[in-house]
Structure 1
Amino acid sequence: MDIIYADYSISMSDFKKNPAQVLRTAGEKPVAVLNHNRPAFYMVTPRLFEALVQELGDRDLVALARQRLASTEPAIEVDVDAL
């Protein structure tokens, strides 16, 4: 059995009948669209998609910052007053 990462789910055939109504009903929650009782895709609002993309970008930046903090070799001492 597949894990469903959504509060709402709907069959593909029911989804095809009225996708806009499914989106309205779910509000800001993701919807799993099922094909033969398995997730075929997830439907999310643009707002939720943007939040997910932002979170992934933030995670990438955190990983890069940690990597750079671990490497102090190329560090250059700077006098803040001289800037």
Structure 2
Amino acid sequence: MAVVIRLTRRGSKKKPFYRVVAADSRCPRDGRFLEILGTYDPLKTDDGVKIDADKAQNWIQKGAKPSRTVATLLKQVGVGQ
């Protein structure tokens, strides 16, 4: 099972809100996930990213691969790879 850290879309039309989750790569984007790691609100200019750095680092150490977007969000939070 390949684990990826990616975004799942929540919110309504034209008001996106995302969860940062650890999920099986075979599951659909908004489908089943293993753990919620944080949230991302692109409409907020300040504090739009809230990610639990310890959980994210733990999943990365276990071999999870973050998507491109999540990798940039993790850099903003200060989680290195």
TM-score by length of 2: 0.25
Higher-helix-fraction structure: 1
Greater RCO (Cα-Cα under 8 Å, separation 6 or more): 2
Higher-strand-fraction structure: 2
TM-score by length of 1: 0.25
